[in-house]
Amino acid sequence: MKILLLAISLTGLTVMTHSIGTYLAFAHCPDWPAAGRSRPWRHVVGTMACLVVFLLIVHLAEAAFWAAALFWWQALPDFSTAFYFSLTSYTTVGYGDVLLPESARLLGPIESVVGVLMLGWSTAVIVAVVQKVFLDASRVAQSPAARLDSATAGTGDQD
């Protein structure tokens, strides 16, 4: 019963962390609209790189919370092993080379379910941002100013 309460607490912490991380990704990555930018492709690449790196850091932090709990529970001998186990569970890779003791083995599959949900959440965020960024970039490319820029592209600085 205690291990189930620990898993539920870690799930809540993971969801809160992911909520905050998603919010911060939107707040700290470049402004989404590409309107008014002369080279919208730079904005697309920068925005996507920022978003993916930021979300990766959030996922690593979430796996680290689970690892800290595994280490604190004394289910694994050191934090490094716990973090490795946590990442393989969170991502559902599950190599099976590190196993939890019977008293804590419920944490592995629960972390896997939570990891799938968080990775799916991040995928949905990335898809939404990709749609928005590329829609904005295509609007910029179709604008009269962009057509004028492309007509005079050979006369200015080039990337």
Q: Are 146 and 37 in contact (CB under 8 A)?
A: no
Select from 63, 67, 61 the least CA-distant residue to 24. 61
Predicted confidence (pLDDT) per residue in 4-41, tens digit: 999 999 999 999 999 999 999 888 876 655 555 667 67
What mean pLDDT value characterizes the chain?
86
Query: Which domains, from first to last, does the chain contain?
Result: 2-138 (1.10.287)
In this predicted structure, the answer to whether residue 43 has a pLDDT above a threshold of 60 is: yes
Measured distance CA(129)–CA(135) in Å, rounded = 10
pTM score of the predicted model: 0.82
Q: What is the DSSP string of 10-58?
A: HHHHHHHHHHHHHHHHHHHSPPS--TT-S-HHHHHHHHHHHHHHHHHHH
> Residue 6 is encoded by which pair of tokens?
């620990």
Give pLDDT tens digits for 91-140.
999 999 999 999 999 999 999 999 999 999 999 999 988 888 778 767 76
Eight-class DSSP state of 73: T
Residue 44 clears pLDDT 90, i.e. is over it: no
